[in-house]
Amino acid sequence: MPAAVSALMLAGLALAGCAKRHHAVAALAPPRIIQGETGLASWYGHPYHGRPAANGEIYDMEALTAAHRTLPFGTWVRVVNLTNDKTVDVRIIDRGPFVENRIIDLSHAAAEAIALIGPGVARVRLDIISVPTVASGESWYGVQAGAFLDRDRAERLRASLEQDFGPAHLVQRADSPTLWRVLVGRVPSEEAAASLAQRVRQESGTAFVVRLDQPARTPVAGGN
């Protein structure tokens, strides 16, 4: 084979190889980050491991999942530990944390990935990678005004808030022991729920917005 032809063939193969490598790199480009939220993160494992999460699937504390109060189930979130810059990508499958000033509860595996196990709580940034499509009319929000081990105390707060803010109800959380959450309101936007939370906070001292995913399961005492 003439040397010139051989050289051209080798050059062509090299270009083809570069093109394939370039295509592979493009296919592995990182997802586009569309927004961020900062606050405190915590993590949870036992006794929730093996129990149904809020979206119905069984919670596996060694999978990369998390709980958030308002993000739709199936949302992928990149969690950045602001104390050490470690990151982990998690899928939202559960609701929580039901503690004021915290914004996300990570699985054991996710917490381990960003060195959160030891301290237990750390300041993080949440970057949204992808959000599933939610049909119009399927998003409803309420306000959590308290959480009690004693159902009677929860019921007294529910009855008091209902007089001023409309229908309120209790939600039983299968903790060990059982925890009774007091929820007020049912509005179609986070903005409306945030406005309600400001009013409720003046009455109960604690109030934050939560997403109401399954209205049929929510009321267990009082309200509609």
How does the average pLDDT of the chain come out, rounded?
Answer: 82
Q: Which residue has the higher pLDDT, 93 or 1?
A: 93
Task: Please tell me the predicted confidence (pLDDT) of residue 8.
Answer: 38
Quick: pLDDT tens for 115-171: 999 999 999 999 999 999 876 667 899 999 998 999 999 999 999 999 999 999 999
pLDDT band, very low/low/confident/very high, at 216 (cuts 50, 70, 90): very low
Residue 224: inside a domain: no
Beta-bridge partners for 25 = none
Q: Are residues 201 and 162 in the same domain?
A: yes
Q: Are residues 113 and 55 in the same domain?
A: yes
Task: Please tell me the predicted confidence (pLDDT) of residue 175.
Answer: 64
Residue 6: inside a domain: no
Residue 10: inside a domain: no
Q: Are residues 122 and 152 in the same domain?
A: no
Q: Are residues 120 and 176 in the same domain?
A: no
**CATH code of the domain in which 204 resides:** 3.30.70.1070
Q: Among the listed ranges 14-23, 31-40, 131-140, which one has the minimum average pLDDT value?
A: 14-23
Q: Which of 224, 223, 69 lies closest to 158, judged by CA?
A: 223
Please answer whether residues 52 and 58 qualify as being in contact, where contact means their C-beta atoms are separated by less than 8 angstroms.
yes
Q: Are residues 155 and 123 in the same domain?
A: no
Query: Is the pLDDT at 23 greater than 60, yes or no?
Result: no
**CATH code of the domain in which 68 resides:** 2.40.40.10
Task: Please tell me the predicted confidence (pLDDT) of residue 27.
Answer: 37
Task: Please tell me the predicted confidence (pLDDT) of residue 99.
Answer: 84
Residue 186: inside a domain: yes
Q: Among the listed ranges 2-6, 73-77, 158-162, 212-216, which one has the minimum average pLDDT value?
A: 2-6
Side-chain half-sphere CA neighbours of 39 within 13 A: 15
Residue 86: inside a domain: yes
Q: Are residues 123 and 151 in the same domain?
A: no
Task: Please tell me the predicted confidence (pLDDT) of residue 10.
Answer: 41
Quick: pLDDT tens for 172-181: 876 667 889 9
Task: Please tell me the predicted confidence (pLDDT) of residue 35.
Answer: 65
Domain with 164 in it: 141-211
Residue 7: inside a domain: no
Query: Is the pLDDT at 14 greater than 90, yes or no?
Result: no
Q: Are residues 47 and 126 in the same domain?
A: yes
Q: Estimate the share of the chain in helix, then strand, then coil, as percent rounded to the nearest 5.
A: 25, 30, 40
Single out the residue in 130, 150, 174 at which a domain terminates.
130
Single out the residue in 130, 162, 197 at which a domain terminates.
130
pLDDT-above-90 percentage for the chain:
64
Query: Is the pLDDT at 22 greater than 70, yes or no?
Result: no
Q: Are residues 76 and 114 in the same domain?
A: yes
Task: Please tell me the predicted confidence (pLDDT) of residue 206.
Answer: 87
Count: domains in the chain: 2
Residue 54: inside a domain: yes
Residue 24: inside a domain: no
Coil vs helix vs strand at 75: coil
pTM above 0.85, yes or no: no
Q: Are residues 54 and 112 in the same domain?
A: yes
- Structure tokens given for 44: 């949870």
Q: Are residues 145 and 111 in the same domain?
A: no
Single out the residue in 130, 160, 189 at which a domain terminates.
130
Residues in the chain, total: 224
Q: Among the listed ranges 11-25, 37-51, 146-160, 161-175, which one has the minimum average pLDDT value?
A: 11-25
